[in-house]
Structure 1
Amino acid sequence: MRTAAKRLALTIPPLRRLYEFAMFHAHGHTESQRQLHELQQTHSRALEEARRQHEKLELQLYVMRSDHQRAAVRNEALSIALSELETQVAKNASFEKFFAQMSEKISSGFQAQQESLNGLLDRAVSREDQALAQSKLFGQLAVLTSEVARIKRPTGGTSEGLATIYLNLLEDALTGILWNDAPMDPWSKSFDPSVRAIGRDWPSSALTMIGSARLRNFRMLIEQAISERIPGDILEAGVWRGGACILARAVLAAHDVRDRRVWVADSFAGLPPPDPKYPSDAGDQHSTFTQLQVTLEEVQQSFRKYGLLDEQVCFLKGWFKDTLPRAPIEALSVLRLDGDMYGSTIETLEALYAKVSVGGYVIIDDYILEGCKQAVHDFRRAASIEDELQEVDGAAVYWKKTRA
């Protein structure tokens, strides 16, 4: 009935024209809605791309600031490091024997890298290039210094040699050098072992970003504390994926040390936002980098994969200001700080420095960053600490605690 009425109505010209007019505008409204929807989708994609570009630019700005700070490292630091190494070699009567045994293993590679660095210095056109080349040389010196320190300790024959082989291999695995682990940061084009050695890129899958030189420094100081019978555990504040702490536990295992623990302290949620209490941290962007957020479960699983998750590994989850002051730690032989910011650094030192044994070591991974450096200077000044700061690789420093 309705269909017949409609057909009859459409035979009347005025009604037909009215119907066609309505249908035309209804179709136009639908088309407008479709175009509006497409425009909204295009706008959303543009906003998302702009957000990604903004995050990338913020990350690049952080790196540029870091490079600028690295360029401020004193030029005479290299000559001081070389002078100290020469003095150490002169005092070490066994160095000639060591050099004869190790020359085929390291001299050719070290000389080639040194020549490459010299060439880089000759071609350098900016303070940043010079600082990078200088840091690479510092990194090589740190590794060589650890080899010199190793031969000065009493050896345990075959077991000592196997421990060294194991720990050397573990270092290469934890830094990703073993398989040329590609960097994930936006400023690195491809894997460069000399850059990875000084921790200047962010590894895709390797478990530490501190680089070979700083990792070897950590190992060397733990071994010295064991050799010198300095009492206390080992703690790292700021662990990322846990690579340095995995090495620390491996050092204890390799030397059959069962009366020390490795403390793994981190929020396991990235870095905290800047605290107004610390003006030096104003504008700090570390809390926005999702790449720095690694969960406790991920770190524990990494320990488990290397067969090193046991009762000698203790985890402290939370912000340093909340966990470190009440941590059940009696003494520390090595304290390693990798908190980047003024607040994280000063809070760790205030909570734990008193527990570092005399003869123990304090390592500052991020001394190159102005906020961290200022926190170190402020704390050392307030505590009247005059122990000499030792260079590691142009970014990190450490000192040996000589008095309570």
Structure 2
Amino acid sequence: MRVLLSAYDSRGGVEPLVGLAVRLRELGAEVRVCAPPDEEFAKRLAGVGVEMVPTGGFVRDLVTGKTPPAPGGLPRRAAELTAAFYDNVTAAGQGCDALVATGILPAAAGVRAAAETLGVRYVYASYQPVSLPSPHHPPIPRPGRPLPPDVTDHQVLWERDARDAQDVFGEVVNAHRASVGLPPSAALRDHVFTDRPWLAADPTLAPWRQPADLDVVQTGAWVLPDERPLPADLEKFLDAGEAPVYVGFGSIPMPDPGDVARATVEAIRGQGRRVVLSRGWADLALVDDQDDCFVVGEANHQALFRRVAAVVHHGGAGTTTTATWAGAPQVVVPQGGDQPYFASRVTELGIGAAHDGPTPAVASLSAALTTALAPETRARATAVSEAFRTDGAAVASRLLVEPDGV
């Protein structure tokens, strides 16, 4: 059994593939992963002995603006991603029995085309329910295509989303399909998603609601216990006093990172807490030389989040999942995409608070921290963590390997 997994995404989108790959290997499958060539992705996959096929450009450079905008804008970039994933997946997928695509539509379209060329099984997986059409929630706005504020019917909005996807990506994806001898797709989004996509999200944190037109298979989140030790200097800081508050925004390039760091540190100090500040792609840094703050780079979040009083973050699927699994109270400062959804779920579950707006200020963050640091929030976060399903990657791997898999 051979399986190829793919993602064009940030760290939070690649990490679940690590868990799925390891579980597939435990069932005797050979696994490769097509992912962006960023060094941190390659190191993480190499650390668990999984071969990575670098595909597409460096995500970090693209997100942080180090990669200049491509001539032709978004359609040109989409065409490049579709071709890159088609070429690499077709080559690396020779002899494979299944291809799994996650992440953004143009890259997944290349994987879907590769599966058609190779004549093998194809699965699309989402890490959050709001990426999939449903009458129970609106779509995430596509770049340059805001949702009309006067439309509240979710079905109408999803029909518009299908048209938007076709308008933005249809021409370049279909041009590529024609170049490799495949017929065009008049419904690109639905062609890529299929009528039976997988939802790799915990059903307590991010449930799929019925009825819906799609026959979604919710496997649970693809998580893998991370046994890596924390850096010695971080361990020393954690042991030196009361549990600190973690602040990190992952791959989000926060505007004015200096102001963000100052506001978050001041708000946390106002609660009488120490701070662990994650540098991240926003490049957050210390605001002074006081010994109640510590800056960390790459670290085992599973271990770290179990040692902190609360986690302040952007609300990406990966960070929210890890914090929920760790039982850490959360403050979510959503910037866009699926992050407002996860902010709302954290609030609804009573495991933290959604920050009011995308830019943390001392007063607004203090209010959210007051909720997150309350004893009842900690108790609720612990209870939800105990209900968290840790077998999502095992479930998905069995569905791929077993002959009667979905």
TM-score, L = length of structure 2: 0.29
Structure with higher Rg: it is 1
TM-score, L = length of structure 1: 0.29
